[in-house]
Structure 1
Amino acid sequence: MNEDLKSTFQKLLEENILDRSGEDTIGRLTDLFPAEVCFSTSFSMEDQVITDILKNHSGIKIFTLDTGRLFEDTYNTWTLTKSKYKVSIKAYYPNQEELEPFIQEKGPDSFYTSVDNRKACCGIRKVNPLKRALKGNKVWITGLRAEHSPDRENIQQLEWDESNQVIKFHPLLFWTTEEVKNYIKEKQIPYNILHDKGFVSIGCAPCTRAIQPGEDFRAGRWWWEDASKKECGLHVHK
């Protein structure tokens, strides 16, 4: 357990370093932890906004989790993002020694058959690569927003991630969907065109569908499961 880092986190809370835009906080975190701050992008609208914000901050590592089952439009957004910002985006992939026997035993689409199989698939394709990506870092920046789901309404903008032993910062936590869209439009930021087709929360292609008017933000993720189970394990809030 990283008690020194956890103690620093508590001091940051006491100093109230948070700001609405996230800009000042990102600057403070990069000053405190040079070369130890990372940002995970799935190329969602939120993550595209953060990528744009980070152009003003050097030394932050950007990574993505390529599960091997992403939409082609997600890869296109990835390409456009690299072209616009000239940034290095490191991809982390599932460990073949975990994935191959799982597929051999369960089949390629076992996530449809049970929650346990789906979570096991998420674990291999997303959670375990995330742990590798976070290794050696002290701050993890994410694109979580409170509007995403009821579970996220009560999280803190700056929090301690016990599972990964890092400080976690959500700069856009209190942004509205309208604010995100307006920023994208104003700055002419490339975004996943699936957002224009009713897709809101975009993950793996077999596990994501467009939502209908009035449906919950995450209704399109693992839609065949009970709503209370709709997390993949990347963001664990206790």
Structure 2
Amino acid sequence: MNNSLPYIAKDAKPAEILRAGIEAADGPVSLACSFSLEDVAIIHIAHEAGLELGVFAIDTGRLNEETYEVADALTERYRLKINWFFPRHEEVEALERAEGLFSFRESLDKRHACCAIRKVEPLSRALKGLAGWVTGMRREQSVTRGELAPIERDELNGGILKINPLINWSEDELIAYTEAHRLPKNRLYSQGYRSIGCAPCTRAVKPGEDVRAGRWWWESAENKECGLHRR
């Protein structure tokens, strides 16, 4: 396997990053889709550029109804095939019987345990056989994402490529793009949400708060990752 990464210009557009990553992967590449504004934009960018990009989603069992509505809208608009992955039900049952329904709010370790079952383990299955995966992460989103590169090698998942085409976009640029192309939008955004995950772990943000302040709002900013994007 060639360990070198393609050169990406500082001002490269998302479509250019996406194309370079897919070509460098030299194998199947899929978007990890949570049906956020970012992911919807990437699907449209890939569609417009004629890029071959798969799409998979993880249904944690605790998604909002509004999230499923976006999935349905994308399927209809792009004739999209979404590969769904789910937690192993035995592990979910064991966790909830032993710890209750809201153990993830008791400590960081318990929240990580919940995310490991509902997100990280299904992701490991979703990535099997892939040469690369695409995320909607942006540097502006949080302190945990400031060091992102456009294309990285994901050593924690077998060394496959991890492609982040929107890293340089601001939230304003993202919103302008989705509105210009009239892309499907989760109704929760109009209620003050700016980053949407599992229903019990997501709330609307308050004026002056950062984009991901509504995710695991009881935790400090440097801990606000679920394990899908360990570094």
State the TM bucket, normalised to the shorter chain: over 0.9
Normalising by the residue count of structure 1, what TM-score does the alignment of the two structures yield?
0.90
Looking at structure 1, the residues matched to 196 and 32 of structure 2 have their Cα atoms a distance apart, in angstroms, of 14
* Counterpart amino acid of residue 100 in structure 1: E
Q: CA deviation at 1:96?
A: 1.3
Q: Deviations over 1:174-194 (max 9, x none)?
A: 011111111111101011111
Match of 1:169 in 2: 163
Structure 1's consecutive aligned runs of 4 or more residues displaced over 6 angstroms after TM superposition are: none
Out of 44, 54, 62, the residue aligned to residue 52 of structure 1 is 44
Q: CA deviation at 1:136?
A: 0.7
Q: CA deviation at 1:31?
A: 3.8
Matched, 1:138 2:131: yes
Out of 119, 129, 137, the residue aligned to residue 126 of structure 1 is 119
Normalising by the residue count of structure 2, what TM-score does the alignment of the two structures yield?
0.93
Contact 2:192–2:205 under 8 Å retained in 1: yes
Contact 1:35–1:61 under 8 Å retained in 2: no
Q: Helix, strand or coil: the match of 1:163?
A: helix
Q: Deviations over 1:24-69 (max 9, x none)?
A: 3333443454551111110111111001012133432100111010
Q: Helix, strand or coil: the match of 2:153?
A: strand
Out of 199, 202, 219, the residue aligned to residue 213 of structure 2 is 219
Q: Deviations over 1:87-110 (max 9, x none)?
A: 101111001122111111111211
Contact 1:40–1:140 under 8 Å retained in 2: yes
CA RMSD of aligned residues (A): 1.7
Match of 2:14 in 1: 22
Matched, 1:92 2:85: yes
Q: CA deviation at 1:233?
A: 0.6
Number of residue pairs aligned between Structure 1 and Structure 2: 229
Match of 1:79 in 2: 72
Matched, 1:202 2:200: no
